[in-house]
């Protein structure tokens, strides 16, 4: 769970139970809001291109950003030109704007949009109003044939052709709704998606909640480290086997990054920060000579002040091709839903 998530979200303790009346109110208002969109009382706007939403049902990182990058690659292989929409969480941008591929400031655009622009080279537009961002993207890049929304499952003002839910059951905590727990929507929402990608194990209750929806496993595979100083140096992760390193992570689930290093045989000294943390030079200073390893999402915020021995561990989503076939089938039906 996110480094900034309340500790009481982990269990159904007294504090979580005391907040259950507010959780019930939140759930009721969420249900009413969606009902109003479905009834046409609130307007659902259609983007100029079909939209594939990649989202989750809980607060906290589940692996959406690597899935967006994976979809971009698959769409290009299928002859499409993808564009990406993002809320730009953690950025300071007002309105709608395109993220530059080079030298974009994550403090302006948000860390995830900057990372996606660098990783995919696809046009990335950020804005709180996803429909306005979609229209701006297509106006600037009319060659785009499909739009991928990084998050936005609960942004019901935007119609979508396909819904992909990325599920990490560890992020679900006590499985209470906000604010008693981390759930934005209940597990029953899984059965309404077009595809569920499970990041890690899935218990029987969650499998049952998915109903007849196809569920595919996803894993994140690390590749070679690269130096953060822009020198184009690369280092095989295996070269650090048995060695101590500083592992710095300001992501939704820092422990997943730390576990990846442990599984590779490294001995990480773990430094967890809240998700979307605004790093400063002091966060990366340590009184020893051990190398500093971090995620690609954190690296975009640290390039200007990282120490010389700072390295980035990129990861890529590995997903069965059958999952993308379902996405293409849904797009082929040409139907968008709220």
Which pLDDT tens digit goes with each residue over 110-140? 999 999 999 999 999 999 999 999 999 999 9
Longest dimension (CA), the chain: 61
pLDDT, tens only, 274-295: 998 999 999 999 999 999 999 9
Distance, first Cα to last Cα, the chain: 28
Kindly report, residue by residue over 6-42, the tens digit of the pLDDT: 999 999 999 999 999 999 999 999 999 999 999 999 9
Decide if pLDDT at 94 tops 50.
yes
DSSP string, 295-316: EHHHHTTTTTT--TTEEEE-EE
| pLDDT of res. 284 | 96
pLDDT digits over 200-212, tens only?
Answer: 999 999 999 999 9
The pLDDT value given to residue 333: 62
What Cα–Cα distance (Å) separates residue 180 from each residue in 21, 30, 32, 85, 111? 9, 15, 20, 30, 28
Contact 58, 248 (CB under 8 A): no
Domains recognised in the chain with CATH numbers: 7-219+320-333 (3.40.50), 224-313 (3.40.50)
Q: What is the pLDDT of residue 213?
A: 97
- The predicted model scores a pTM of 0.93
Query: Checking DSSP bridges between strand 215-222 and strand 315-319, what pairing results, if any?
Result: antiparallel
How far apart are the C-alpha atoms of 113 and 127, rounded to whole Å? 11
- pLDDT category at 91 given cuts 50, 70, 90 is confident
With beta carbons less than 8 A apart as the criterion, state whether 312 and 232 touch: no
E strands of the chain, at which residues?
A: 51-55, 82-86, 97-98, 124-126, 146-150, 162-167, 195-199, 215-222, 225-227, 234-235, 244-249, 267-272, 292-295, 310-313, 315-319
């Amino acid at each position: 769970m996110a480094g900034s998530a309340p500790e009481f979200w982990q269990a159904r303790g007294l504090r979580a139970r005391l907040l259950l009346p507010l959780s019930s109110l939140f759930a009721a208002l969420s249900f009413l809001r969606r009902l109003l969109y479905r009834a046409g009382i609130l307007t659902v706007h259609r983007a100029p291109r079909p939209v594939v939403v990649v989202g989750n049902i809980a607060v906290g990182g589940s692996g959406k950003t690597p899935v967006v990058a994976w979809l971009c690659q698959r769409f290009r292989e299928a002859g499409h030109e993808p564009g990406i929409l993002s809320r730009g969480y953690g950025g300071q941008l007002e309105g709608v704007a395109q993220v530059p591929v080079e030298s974009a400031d994550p403090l302006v655009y948000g860390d995830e949009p900057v990372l996606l622009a660098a990783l995919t080279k696809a046009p990335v537009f950020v804005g709180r109003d996803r429909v306005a961002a979609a229209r701006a993207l297509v106006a600037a890049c009319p060659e785009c044939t499909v739009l991928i929304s990084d998050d936005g499952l609960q942004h019901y003002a935007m119609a979508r052709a396909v819904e992909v839910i990325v599920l990490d059951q560890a992020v679900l905590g006590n499985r209470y709704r906000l604010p008693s727990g981390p759930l934005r929507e209940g597990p029953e929402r899984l059965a309404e998606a077009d595809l569920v990608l499970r990041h890690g194990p899935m218990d029987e209750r969650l499998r049952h909640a998915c109903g007849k929806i196809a569920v595919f496993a996803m894993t994140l595979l690390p590749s070679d480290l690269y130096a953060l100083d822009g020198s184009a140096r690369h280092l095989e992760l295996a070269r650090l086997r048995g060695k101590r390193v500083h592992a710095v992570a300001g992501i939704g689930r820092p422990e997943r990054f730390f576990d990846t290093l442990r599984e590779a045989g490294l001995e990480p000294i773990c430094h967890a920060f809240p998700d979307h943390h605004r790093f400063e030079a002091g966060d990366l200073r340590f009184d020893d000579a051990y190398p500093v390893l971090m995620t690609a999402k954190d690296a975009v915020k640290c390039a200007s002040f990282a120490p010389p021995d700072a390295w980035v561990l990129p990861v890529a989503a590995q997903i069965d091709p059958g999952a993308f076939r379902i996405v293409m089938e849904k797009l082929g039906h040409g139907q968008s839903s709220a």
